[in-house]
Structure 1
Amino acid sequence: MNLAEYSIKKKTVTLVITVLLVIGGIISFTKIGMLEDPEFTVKDAVVITAYPGASPQEVEEEVTDKLEIAIQQLGQLDEIKSISKAGLSIITVTIKDKYGAADLPQVWDELRRKVGDAQGELPPGTQPSIVNDDFGDVYGILLAVTGEGYSYKELKDAVDYLRKELLLVKDVSKVALWGAQKEAIFVEISTSRLAQLGLGLDTVYASLKEQNMVVPAGSIKVGPEYIRISPSGTYNSIESIEDLQIRDPQSDKVIYLKDIGTVTRDYVDPPSQVLHFDGIPAISMGISIAKGGNVVKLGEAVNQRLDQLKGMLPIGMKIQVINFQATDVTLSIKAFVINFLEAIGIVIVVLLIFMGVRSGLLIGSILAITVLGTIIVMEMTGISLQRISLGALIIALGMLVDNAIVVTEGMLIRISAGMDRIKAAGEVVRQTQMPLLGATIIAVLAFWGIGMSQDSTGEFCRSLFQVMLISLMMSWVIAITITPLFCKMFLKAGVEGEEPQDPYKGFIFVFYKKMLSLSIRLRWVTVLVAIGMLAVSIYGF
């Protein structure tokens, strides 16, 4: 007894599994992660080291070279690129392709240890090196907060509030700001006034540096409790900075900072980031999704929270949309659903013409069950619906019906000839299951090179191979189990007493038989024609 006969005899079990595949596929479709593009691992890190006052040559010789020697000890290293500028060393570290997302955290930790060990060899005045490996976030939602007539400080306060609230939304991984202008306190000192008073700039710098420092001042015991001592002298306003007392240790002169310069509060000029939305100054918020999240549901949750937060913003401030990836993904999913329904419709129409109504509807239903079963496995294995996996499903739609057609046609011919349905199912599956499995494996192996590639292209397109593997193998399993049961239940048997019809007497079969006989008789001509066509195709390529 093979799988086909067992599936028919255990009809209830097979039908329950079929219903579970349909219901589970629909539920998985609502829960599966949805993105625009596959998650992608950036295998680069940047080591930034500031060496104020040094020339590019000094930075290269005293900082960059020493750090490169330390970094080159990494066994996972693929390539190093460095830029030495006046006062700044920038080293880009690229890791070998064979290391995936699961390996990189450990690699970056080892990189930080190597860079940390090299800090003792750097010259005095060099600031600690910064290792930045956080390049993998994709901000699928990009918003702009505008407020005509409001200052950047007021915009920044509003954006900081929105950021804290949006970080609480489910599946939000990070909210990054862009375009916020940095504020600074500018102290412009008159060198001529300093010269008149006999003070040096070092004295002014030292006085500014010593003030406003947070240091522990201890505590005193008052009864059963200890009261913390908080010293005064912090800067609370521009005026408090202007009233800073500067004492010259040599002449013992004491003056106020406002006597030798002006103190102002303004934005850093030129700004490092500038953003305008429709000609109005703005600050943007980029929202990235957590790993395995559903960007469509994230978009709905963010929209819902933004509707609640808009009423809490000052009048005149607006939240504008620069890019909303959830909309693009929704359109892609809808396009796939339409393509899926069109594919089923085309399959049914074509089979209606060549195999009859019952066969067409039967194979169309098998196609739907196969796709739903594939979505279940995708959801279980963490494969999201995105550009590549959707493309794989669309490619697979034309291949998923092949196994079902072979089994259905074989059973249709035998049942029409009066054979017992269970016997027909067993005979067809017994004859075709291994050839169908071989053909399915060959079709899967066509995508093996993409799926198993260790470079960035392989990582980006891996879901193409994974989805083709899951869907095609699912189609083979369903073809030798569920399909025979459906054929037994729905295919029409021949009329008792009538002579069985020859299924191969149609025009197409007769023409094909003549062409096949001719090709076999003129076998060498056929081989030469095939070789010639291969050569022409290679030349054309």
Structure 2
Amino acid sequence: MAISTPFIHRPVATTLLSIGLCLLGILAFNLLPVASLPRVDYPTISVSAKQAGASPEVMAATVATPLERTLGRLAGVNEITSTSSLGSTNITLQFDLSRDINGAARDVQGAINASLSSLPSGLQNNPTYRKVNPADAPVMILALTSKTLSRGQMYDAADTILGQKLLQIDGVGDVSIGGAAQPAVRVELNPLQLAHYGVGLETVRSAITATNANRPKGFVEQKDQLWEVQANDQAKKAQDYLPLIISYKDNSPVRISDVAAVKDSVLDTRNAGYYSEQPSVLILVFKQPNANVIETIQRVKDMLPTLQSALPTQINIQVAVDRSTTIKASLREIEMTMIISVILVILVVFVFLRNGRATLIPALTVPISLIGTFALMYLSGFSLNNISLMALTVATGFVVDDTIVVLETISRRLEEGLSPMQAAITGAKEVSFTVISMSISLIAVFVPILLMGGIVGRLFHEFAMTLSYAILISMLVSLTTTPMLCAWWLKSHPRQSSSAQLEPEHFPISDSEALRLASEDDYIKQQGLFGRITLMYKWSLAVALRFKALTLIIFLFTIAFNVYLYVVIPKGFFPQQDTGVLRGSLRADQNISFNAMNLKLKQFINVIEKDPAVDHVMGTLGGAQINNANLFLALKPLGERTDTPTQVMGRLRKNLAHEPGATLVLTPVQDIQIGGRLSDAGYQYTLQSDDLNSLRTWTPRLKEAFNKLPALTDVTSDQEVKGLKTALQFDHDKMTQLGVTQAQVDSVLNDAFGQRQVSTIYNAMNQYHVVMEIAPEFAQSVESLRNIYIQSSSGGAVPLSAFSTWQPENTSLSVNHQGLFAASTLSFNLNNGYSLSDATDQINQVMNQLQVPSSIHGNFQGSAKAFQSSLSSQPLLILAAIIVIYIVLGILYESFAHPITILSTLPSAGLGALIALMLFQMEFNVIALIGILLLVGIVKKNAIMMIDVALTLQRQQNLPAEQAILNASVLRFRPIMMTTLTALFGVLPLALGRGNGAELHVPLGISIVGGLIISQILTLYTTPVMYLYIDRLSQWGKEKFEKFPSFKHINVKK
């Protein structure tokens, strides 16, 4: 009994099973999470430490190196990088994709604890970690503005109220507040007055530190009452510090008001933030690795009304950037594309069958297969994203194929005169093996993808599994629901033939004989226009079979041309997405002041705001590197602009070239971030060396060489060694004579110029600091060092100039490490008309030409590194797919030879895909590679349908191979055309996509459409010819084996 028979005889049960599958799919669809892409984030943890006033070299040597040595021993660490700048160190750990981030976080905390004994005692706090990639762009930006409050007051509200609440939201990895600093009391000392009163800086520091004690005092118990002891042991406002006595001179008290100005200000005055040219405090919300973007943003949005009500009424909170907007738009676009694909596929079926009842069958089975797939997606923990929905759109053309093969066969049986029930049973039995062969061999294509490692394997795991689920469900539906519907829905439409009516009751012939007779010309003529097209194909195929050698030469040429096109086609990694957000890095001279840089930032924001594609701009300035400001550009929705991010970047690059003194580098924010080092441009090339001087010599040389490469633009370096510093030389003998120690001098210099936090003010909702430094007007030049005095051991005040000299020198603004070695990173974008493969080839060529010393090692990082890895594995991946399919087909057909015939269809598909990509000036990237792999599974269906019938005619009717393949090709011409056109029209909306997210699926659609067109033209002729050559080779091999007694027991089938 055939697989389909019990389902045909039990229509109620089959119908209920189909309805149940749909209900499960609909329920799963509503439960599936929504995301832009599958979870492909590397588990990444960022460790940070701060020490106010410490130079980048000091932070690198005393903080970064001890932490790196301990953290580098953790299991599963793929990459460890660090950046040390003035007063801060940030270390980024990137783990294996298989590593659980929560377990990694526990290990990181343990490593930090183990490192504490090796770290300097002057750290403000112990190092902390966040489960976030610092190279990621924020998923949401909130802007705080006010007409009455200062930035410091807005920052206080953001830090105290918003920051803490936002970090509690599930999925939020970090919250960064920029544009201002925490409120603080600033004590600005007059060194001349200090010298006049004979008071040292350390004396002032000790007095201020002692002012804020806030220690427990205990309780007093009196009879039946308990009294808590409290005291005014905190000075919370600037005015509270003015009367503070710090010393006595001539029995008169010296107060802070005598030697300093005290202000209610902020912790760091060198900060600024802007939202559309308005002074603003910006809150950047980052998601945790593998957190769902849309769900995280929605949770933040849900909390905004509560947060707004908790803020002072003078503060307005606005959503400046919302990444979920474009993600939702792209998902709506791909969902609409899938619906259009289903409609087109059904229309193709109707055009071929010209039967409304027959067309309704795939109109039901295709949605059943697609909806049922959602249930398996939910059980597998997948999400509705651009990749999985793209797989379902592609699956539209696949799932209808099985139905078409079954439906077309049953329809042909009906045309032969069989009853609907008998036609359904006979037709389903006839093609069940074909349907199973096509489905299993198609799924086999995805086995190499499922076994792939790295980010590409993780990215397309959901794609491969979703498509496999759809194909499996389609196979089951086509062997159960489809024949049942045919049996109970279709009607008999026998057609008279001048030669014979192919009905077993009148002509007791076998199935194979019916197949042979059905290819006769008289029978074909009954099919109208398509019949005449079939006769033309039959005539042209007969010609091709007479000139087999010429057809074989065309086949071999196709293989050679494939190889040539693969070598010359521009190659990329992942299509550049239009997320509607650009990230900018504004760099100026390394010795620029804060005020000058702040002015530059406002000038650039003003120019950017005038661009027609830009909605609004956000910018922040401050922190360790004053010469660097960060910008975020929110573009207008795609419906309100016609420019791509690349075009906007090019226009702004041209307009901003007229702004002197600074350079802005823009990159589009992407949903996939590879690598943990934040750079100015989109791609990175990192130089490593154990010789820091050699690294500093060669980095600018290579940067200059990279600037000359035609494929590169926006070349920048994170090596900044031209900052200004004052280098002090101490006379240690004089220091000893004067009673001054090295530690004492360093501490006094930090008191004077380091914005030193000398005391903590405890508040009910937060902690604030008292910052001590000399007044800004006394720190305008290097000569201010002459006003610094140190208390000697004898009690006198010793001027700094008495035992030291100083001179100006250059210094590093940051020190970078990668893998424990000193490193510098050159970042770059691509020029218009150039691909990533062009850039990597040119860079490698330059490295060889310049003869860079062996002590310096250069490697691509981030996306460029992943691109090189995927590029080397692409041929192996395609080869693996071919081998897997060969093995599966060999098992199904019990033949070594005929799987080669089926695989001979592949070169023409690859040729069509590559030609289409080049015609549309598109790169060959990982999306196009998936299209090639899909073509491997699609086009072999044509050969399977031909060879199944040809083998049946040869084995059961003893027809010659040439006659058998001719009849089989003609007989299967209609289902071949139907399956090819349905696959083509199924992906055509992907190729023609122009809305949100189109940049992801257009390469897939272009490659599949091109491959299907060329392969359909060629394989209709090359496959029959290859069948004859393989059949001849098989016969020869069989004869040779039979000459050896040891091989006589082997049954070599055709």
Q: TM-score range by the shorter chain?
A: 0.7 to 0.9
Once the two structures are superposed, residues 44-84 of structure 1 have per-residue CA deviations (whole angstroms, 9 ceiling, x without a partner) of 44444456666655555555444443334334233333445
Contact preservation (8 Å) 1:383, 1:463: yes
Task: Check 1:482–1:323 CA distance in 2 against 1; reply closer, same or farther (3 A cut).
Answer: farther
Contact preservation (8 Å) 1:34, 1:329: no
Once the two structures are superposed, residues 353-404 of structure 1 have per-residue CA deviations (whole angstroms, 9 ceiling, x without a partner) of 1112222222122111222112232233332222222222222222221111
Contact preservation (8 Å) 1:404, 1:479: yes
After TM superposition, give the deviation of residue 446 of structure 1 in Å: 3.5
Contact preservation (8 Å) 1:34, 1:386: yes
Q: Does 1:404 align with 2:403?
A: yes
Question: What residue identity is the alignment partner of 1:107?
Answer: A
Contact preservation (8 Å) 2:77, 2:94: yes
Distance 1:294 1:131 in 2: 21
Contact preservation (8 Å) 2:25, 2:374: yes
Other-structure match for 1:216: 216
User: Secondary structure of 2:195's match?
Assistant: helix
Once the two structures are superposed, residues 206-261 of structure 1 have per-residue CA deviations (whole angstroms, 9 ceiling, x without a partner) of 1211222332222334556754433332223222222333356x998744322321
Task: Check 1:124–1:271 CA distance in 2 against 1; reply closer, same or farther (3 A cut).
Answer: closer
Task: Check 1:119–1:293 CA distance in 2 against 1; reply closer, same or farther (3 A cut).
Answer: closer
Once the two structures are superposed, residues 422-471 of structure 1 have per-residue CA deviations (whole angstroms, 9 ceiling, x without a partner) of 44444444443344333334333434444443212333333222222222
Question: What residue identity is the alignment partner of 2:330?
Answer: S
Q: Does 1:349 align with 2:374?
A: no
User: Secondary structure of 1:74's match?
Assistant: coil
Contact preservation (8 Å) 2:174, 2:287: no
Q: Map 1:321-400 to 2 at 5 A.
A: 321-356=319-354, 357-400=356-399
After TM superposition, give the deviation of residue 157 of structure 1 in Å: 6.3
Report which stretch shifted further, 67-76 or 310-319: 310-319
Distance 2:82 2:157 in 1: 39
After TM superposition, give the deviation of residue 539 of structure 1 in Å: 1.6
Q: Which runs of 5+ in 2 are unaligned?
A: 504-517, 526-530, 567-1054
User: Secondary structure of 1:41's match?
Assistant: coil
Question: What residue identity is the alignment partner of 2:400?
Answer: V
After TM superposition, give the deviation of residue 118 of structure 1 in Å: 3.0
After TM superposition, give the deviation of residue 38 of structure 1 in Å: 3.2
After TM superposition, give the deviation of residue 138 of structure 1 in Å: 6.8
Contact preservation (8 Å) 1:166, 1:172: no
Other-structure match for 1:539: 564
C-alpha RMSD over aligned residues: 3.9
Task: Check 1:409–1:122 CA distance in 2 against 1; reply closer, same or farther (3 A cut).
Answer: same
Contact preservation (8 Å) 2:155, 2:177: no
Aligned length: 535
Contact preservation (8 Å) 1:296, 1:329: no
Other-structure match for 1:106: 103
Other-structure match for 2:643: none
Other-structure match for 2:472: 473
Other-structure match for 2:413: 414
Other-structure match for 2:275: 277
Other-structure match for 1:31: 31
Contact preservation (8 Å) 1:148, 1:280: no
Question: What residue identity is the alignment partner of 1:142?
Answer: I
User: Secondary structure of 2:25's match?
Assistant: helix
Question: What residue identity is the alignment partner of 2:322?
Answer: F
Q: Which runs of 5+ in 1 are unaligned?
A: none
After TM superposition, give the deviation of residue 263 of structure 1 in Å: 0.8
Distance 1:420 1:383 in 2: 44
Q: Map 1:37-436 to 2 at 5 A.
A: 37-50=37-50, 59-83=59-83, 88-95=88-95, 97=96, 99-100=97-98, 103-125=100-122, 128-135=126-133, 139-153=138-152, 155-156=154-155, 163=162, 173=172, 176=175, 178-182=177-181, 183-222=183-222, 226-247=226-247, 254-272=253-271, 274-286=272-284, 295=294, 299=298, 318-356=316-354, 357-436=356-435
Distance 1:89 1:277 in 2: 28
After TM superposition, give the deviation of residue 18 of structure 1 in Å: 1.9
Question: What residue identity is the alignment partner of 1:531?
Answer: L
Distance 1:38 1:275 in 2: 34
Contact preservation (8 Å) 2:64, 2:89: yes
Distance 2:172 2:46 in 1: 22
Contact preservation (8 Å) 2:166, 2:175: no
After TM superposition, give the deviation of residue 205 of structure 1 in Å: 1.0
Task: Check 1:401–1:224 CA distance in 2 against 1; reply closer, same or farther (3 A cut).
Answer: farther
Question: What residue identity is the alignment partner of 2:456?
Answer: T
Distance 2:414 2:559 in 1: 41
* Percent identity between the two aligned chains: 23
Report which stretch shifted further, 287-296 or 225-234: 287-296
User: Secondary structure of 1:481's match?
Assistant: helix
Task: Check 1:337–1:84 CA distance in 2 against 1; reply closer, same or farther (3 A cut).
Answer: closer
Other-structure match for 1:530: 555
Task: Check 1:81–1:351 CA distance in 2 against 1; reply closer, same or farther (3 A cut).
Answer: same
After TM superposition, give the deviation of residue 532 of structure 1 in Å: 1.5
- Where relative contact order (Cα < 8 A, 6+ residues apart) is larger, the structure is 1
Distance 2:302 2:131 in 1: 33
User: Secondary structure of 1:275's match?
Assistant: strand
Distance 1:68 1:304 in 2: 39
Report which stretch shifted further, 51-60 or 432-441: 51-60
User: Secondary structure of 1:480's match?
Assistant: helix
Task: Check 1:280–1:50 CA distance in 2 against 1; reply closer, same or farther (3 A cut).
Answer: closer
Task: Check 1:257–1:308 CA distance in 2 against 1; reply closer, same or farther (3 A cut).
Answer: closer
After TM superposition, give the deviation of residue 525 of structure 1 in Å: 3.6
Contact preservation (8 Å) 1:163, 1:175: no
Once the two structures are superposed, residues 293-334 of structure 1 have per-residue CA deviations (whole angstroms, 9 ceiling, x without a partner) of 5838965x7667657877887777544342333432332233
Contact preservation (8 Å) 1:373, 1:474: yes
After TM superposition, give the deviation of residue 511 of structure 1 in Å: 3.2
Distance 2:396 2:169 in 1: 34
Contact preservation (8 Å) 1:350, 1:360: no
After TM superposition, give the deviation of residue 41 of structure 1 in Å: 1.9
User: Secondary structure of 1:242's match?
Assistant: coil
Contact preservation (8 Å) 2:141, 2:319: yes
TM-score between both structures, scaled by the size of structure 2: 0.46
Distance 1:152 1:85 in 2: 24
Question: What residue identity is the alignment partner of 1:196?
Answer: H
Other-structure match for 2:13: 13
Contact preservation (8 Å) 2:56, 2:85: yes
Contact preservation (8 Å) 1:170, 1:298: no
Distance 2:487 2:427 in 1: 12
After TM superposition, give the deviation of residue 121 of structure 1 in Å: 3.2
Task: Check 1:288–1:11 CA distance in 2 against 1; reply closer, same or farther (3 A cut).
Answer: farther
Distance 2:193 2:407 in 1: 100
Other-structure match for 2:1001: none
